[in-house]
Amino acid sequence: MVMDKTGTLTEGKPSVVESVWDPTILTEDDPNELNLRDVLYALEHRSEHPLALAVCESLRGCEDLPVEDFQAILGKGIAGTVHGTRYYVGNMDLLHDIVGDIPEATNPMVGDSIGPWMDAGYTVTLLFDKVKVYAVLALADELKDTSVQAVKVLQAQGIEIHMLTGDNEVAARHIAEETGIAHVKAHVLPQDKAEYVKRLQASGKRVAMVGDGINDSAALAQADLGIAMGQGSDIAIDTAQVTIVSSDLSKLSDLVRLSKRTVTIIRENLFWAFFYNLLAVPLAAGILYPVNGFLLNPMVAAACMALSSVCVVTNSLRLRK
């Protein structure tokens, strides 16, 4: 069973727990102070990612500036032009792609915050242009109350659990250690999730994928069984074969138990239906007539046929328990 992290194992409602802004832009007589907070708000306001929503919540009251050439950079962040300057908001991978290392003009207070926050398992988001990193924000997304126990129960049922996330390696390991998941892959782009499922299938495994977001839909479609969280995106729910309406991970073990029980009931019903017909059809056809003249009354035959259906339905109703 392959699980997405955000919104599946975690609440999917991250919040900004700490932030550091370059102090050189925070002086009272510097008009950039307001502008850069507004810039961050304006960019994040145009993104539908849960992290962007959390950043906007922390910047409530800022001005929504006009943004030109807005761009969502898959799995890394966003970009847009505000007042003639191209700004970027995203993770360290985006910083490396655009600038390389942290620009020398960046104040040490900003750069020095990144390492400790990543070590603490936070998700780090940066606001920068090609000259300087202006702000670093640490975001945390709490585990669902049921996640740890749900993973333990699934593992006890003999299911191997894998976790995929677009987050950084340290944050991914932090969640994995809390939940007891041994197989973890970080920095995963949406298309990589489907490829990961394919590789597991190629190794001979039957794979269930559990996710909630648009970026999980390809993996949900690729898996032998797609399971969507009820609070997730409509695309994920439409793609998956099963939806956990409450988004409670403990329901996954119930799903497994119910599925196994259902297959057992189906096999029992098939056995009794075939066994019954194997005996009753020749009898109704008069197989005993040449021997002792016995013929089955049609009304009795009809009653027996109805009784067989009652037995199958009654056996199936045991699933209600």
Q: Is the pLDDT of residue 273 over 80?
A: yes
Q: What is the mean pLDDT of residues 294-304?
A: 82
What residue type is assigned to position 205 of the chain? K
Q: Distance between CA 189 and CA 125 in Å, rounded?
A: 17
Q: What is the mean pLDDT of residues 111-135?
A: 88
Q: Distance between CA 162 and CA 23 in Å, rounded?
A: 42
Q: Which comes out higher in pLDDT, residue 43 or 290?
A: 43
Residues 6+ apart with CB under 8 A from 26: 33
Q: Model confidence over 155-203: pLDDT tens digits?
A: 999 999 999 988 888 888 888 998 999 999 988 888 899 999 999 999 9
CATH architecture, domain defined by 11-140: 3-Layer(aba) Sandwich (3.40)
pLDDT category at 302 given cuts 50, 70, 90 is confident
Paired with 124 in beta bridges are 138
Domain boundaries, the chain: 11-140, 147-248, 254-320
Give the Cβ contact number of residue 160 at 10 Å. Answer: 14
In the residue annotation, 22 being an active-site residue is answered as no
Q: Model confidence over 59-91: pLDDT tens digits?
A: 988 888 999 999 998 878 999 999 889 999 999
**pLDDT at residue 30, rounded to an integer:** 53
Q: What is the mean pLDDT of residues 126-139?
A: 91
**pLDDT at residue 212, rounded to an integer:** 87
Q: Is the pLDDT of residue 286 over 90?
A: no
CATH architecture, domain defined by 147-248: 3-Layer(aba) Sandwich (3.40)
Q: Distance between CA 240 and CA 198 in Å, rounded?
A: 16
**pLDDT at residue 27, rounded to an integer:** 54
Beta strands in the chain (DSSP E): 2-4, 15-21, 68-73, 77-82, 85-90, 123-128, 133-140, 162-164, 183-185, 208-211, 225-229, 242-244
Q: Model confidence over 217-269: pLDDT tens digits?
A: 999 999 999 999 988 888 999 999 999 998 889 999 999 999 999 999 999 99
**pLDDT at residue 34, rounded to an integer:** 46
Q: What is the mean pLDDT of the chain?
A: 88
Q: Is the pLDDT of residue 32 over 60?
A: no
% the chain with pLDDT above 70: 97
Q: Model confidence over 19-28: pLDDT tens digits?
A: 999 887 655 5
SS in 3 state form for 250-307?
A: HHHHHHHHHHHHHHHHHHHHHHHHHHHHHHHHHHHCCCCHHHHCCCCCHHHHHHHHHH
Q: Distance between CA 148 and CA 82 in Å, rounded?
A: 43
Paired with 128 in beta bridges are 88, 133
Q: Kindly name the residue from 4, 141, 167, 216 that is annotated as catalytic.
A: 4
Give the Cβ contact number of residue 225 at 10 Å. Answer: 16
